[in-house]
């Protein structure tokens, strides 16, 4: 698979449930970032986790990073209808400042 692959590709949940999505990558990274994209809009940065970090929280978001497995996960707890969007992981390779490589994204639908 290519750098920054998310799975699942799509996720449908009920409001209040948790949503978990995963990202795998191939090369060494400086950091890994998660972005959200509402339909037809730009990418909004959610959270950045550095290669020496294992877990990070921001509000209802929890991100983990396992550099030995080259994988990351994004957990959205107590989802809301407003969380409906596509979520992308993006890897920032070492020594390639901010030349981000994006995955294909996970489309999340939160049903009210």
Residues that bind other proteins (CB under 8 A): 2, 4, 30-31, 33, 35, 41-45, 48, 88, 90, 92, 96-105
State in angstroms the smallest separation of the CB of 42 from other proteins. 4
- Rounded Cα distance between 74 and 64, Å, is 7
Contacts of 18 (CB under 8 A, 6+ apart): 75, 76, 77, 78, 79
- Closest CB 21 distance from other proteins, rounded Å: 15
CB-wise, 31 or 84, nearer to other proteins?
31
Shortest gap between Cβ of 80 and other proteins (angstroms)? Answer: 21
Quote the least distance from Cβ 68 to other proteins, whole Å. 22
Q: Which lies closer to other proteins via its Cβ, residue 45 or residue 54?
A: 45
The single residue listed with the structure tokens 């509402």 is 38
Q: In the complex with other proteins, which residue's Cβ is closer, 76 or 88?
A: 88
Question: What is the rounded distance in angstroms from the CA atom of residue 78 to the CA atom of residue 76?
Answer: 7
What is the secondary structure of 10-43 as a DSSP string?
Answer: EEEEETTS-EEEEEE--S-EEEEEEEEE-TTS-E
């Amino acid at each position: 698979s290519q750098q920054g692959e998310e799975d699942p590709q799509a996720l449908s949940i009920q409001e209040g449930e948790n949503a978990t999505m995963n990202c795998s990558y191939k090369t060494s990274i400086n950091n890994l970032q998660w972005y959200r994209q509402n339909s037809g809009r730009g990418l909004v940065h959610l959270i950045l986790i550095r290669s020496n970090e294992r877990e990070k929280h921001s509000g209802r978001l929890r991100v983990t990073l396992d550099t030995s497995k080259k994988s990351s996960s994004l957990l959205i707890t107590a989802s809301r209808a407003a969380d409906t969007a596509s979520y992308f992981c993006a890897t920032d390779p070492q020594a390639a400042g901010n030349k981000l490589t994006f995955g294909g994204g996970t489309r999340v639908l939160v049903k009210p």
